[in-house]
Structures are given as structure tokens and as C-alpha cells.
Amino acid sequence: MSILKIARMGHPVLRKKSEEISDPQSEYVKYLVEDMLETLEDIQGLGLAAPQVHVSKKLVIFYSPPGEAETSEMDLNILINPIIEPIGDDIDYDWEGCLSVPGLRGLVPRYKKIRYKGLNEKGKKIDKTVEGLHARVVQHECDHLEGIIYVQRMDNLEDLVFESEMKFYNKF
Ligand code: ZN
């Protein structure tokens, strides 16, 4: 296992549409997932998409708020070849950050509720309807697979700030 280098905004790999993974259970995917998990843990992030580690494939990993289980631990999700479908037109704004845009935070509109489908690393089908932070994280990570960074989703660049200046912003 190894910690991978994170591509930062401006690197062409972050602008490309990534490719479908034909065999989610392949050794290649297994090792990629292991390395991405180790990288995410090292950098203490909420989510990571394969293009952020210079691999243009449809794979994201992310933490989501705990589901049914009575635990305060976040759930770890591995999602391959995801498809997102918004449910309704409701939009929420909240602050986002990105490992590829270090030090900055932006106020980003996202669909409040979505349904997403895909496969996990064992080839098992995933089909979830989620809202709030879970929906936000999925939209953020899956945007990376389309070559989109959260800044491109913002409708007011005045709300793009350095983390260290966030204390001046109390919109939420
Ligand atoms: Zn990101």
C-alpha cells in the first residue's frame, strides 16, 4: 500500500471525463482502492475521487453520516461507475473544500436529495436515496469523474475564501 500524490486544480487529469471500470473486482481496482483509502486517511479528507490521484477511472471513496446503525462513526463508501439522479428541484447551499484545492472553502449549491447507483469493490449493486451531507459528498466526488471541481458549481465567487478567513463568514 502507498500514499498517492494528489492532483491539484489546474492539472489536466482533473478536467477529463473518466472511464468506466470494466471489472470492479480486478486486482487493479483492489489495489487502487487500498491506496486511495490510505491516502484519504493520511490527509484526513471526507472523500476522494480516482482522478484526484491521477487515475481517470470512475471510482470514488467517501465517508457519509451513519445510516441505520447506532454509531457516531461515519460510514465508509466505495462507489464504482456511479450514476446520479436528482430527486426534486430543492437546492441547498453549504461550504465545501477539496483536497485538490487546498486551503480554500466555497459555498456551493447542490441538489438536496439524490438517488445514486453503482457498484462496490465486490461487484455488489448499490442503489441509495440520500439527502443532506451524504447527497452533497456524492455530488462533489462524482463531479470529479466528469472533470468538474466545486468552484465551477459556485454561483458567487465572493463566497470562495481561505479556510483561515472563514471566521468572517457566518452565513451558516
Ligand atoms: Zn474534491
Catalytic residue among 20, 38, 141, 165: 141
Ligand 1 centroid to residue 123 C-alpha, Å: 24
Angle of CA points 126, 45, 16, to nearest 5°: 65
If you ran DSSP here, which 8-state letter would residue 1 be given? -
* Residue 11 exposed, middle or buried by CB count within 10 Å (0-12, 13-18, 19+): middle
* Over residues 8-20, mean pLDDT: 98
Q: How far apart are the CA of 71 and the centre of ligand 1, in A? A: 26
Residue at 109 is within a domain: yes
Flag whether pLDDT at 172 surpasses 60: no
Domain ranges, residue 157: 12-168
**Would 4 be classed as within a structural domain?**
no
Task: Count how many domains the chain has.
Answer: 1
> 7 lies in a domain?
no
- Cα of 164 vs centre of ligand 1, distance in Å, is 19
Q: CATH number of the domain at 90, please.
A: 3.90.45.10
| pLDDT tens readout for residues 108-154 | 999 999 999 999 999 999 999 999 999 999 999 999 999 999 999 99
How much distance in Å is there from the Cα of 128 to the middle of ligand 1? Answer: 21
User: With contact defined as beta carbons under 8 Å apart, do 86 and 116 qualify?
Assistant: no
Phi-psi region of 60 (alpha: psi -120 to 50; beta: other; left: phi over 0): beta
Q: How far apart are CA 162 and CA 103, in angstroms?
A: 6
Any domain includes 2: no
Is 37 domain-assigned? yes
Q: How far is the CA of 52 from the centre of ligand 1 (A)?
A: 8
Give the model's pLDDT for residue 69. 60
CA angle 54, 4, 53 (to 5 degrees): 20
Q: 4-8, 63-67, 68-72, 160-164: lowest mean pLDDT where? A: 68-72
141 is a catalytic site residue: yes
Judge whether 3 lies within some domain: no
How much is the pLDDT for 65? Answer: 86
Model pLDDT, residue 110: 98
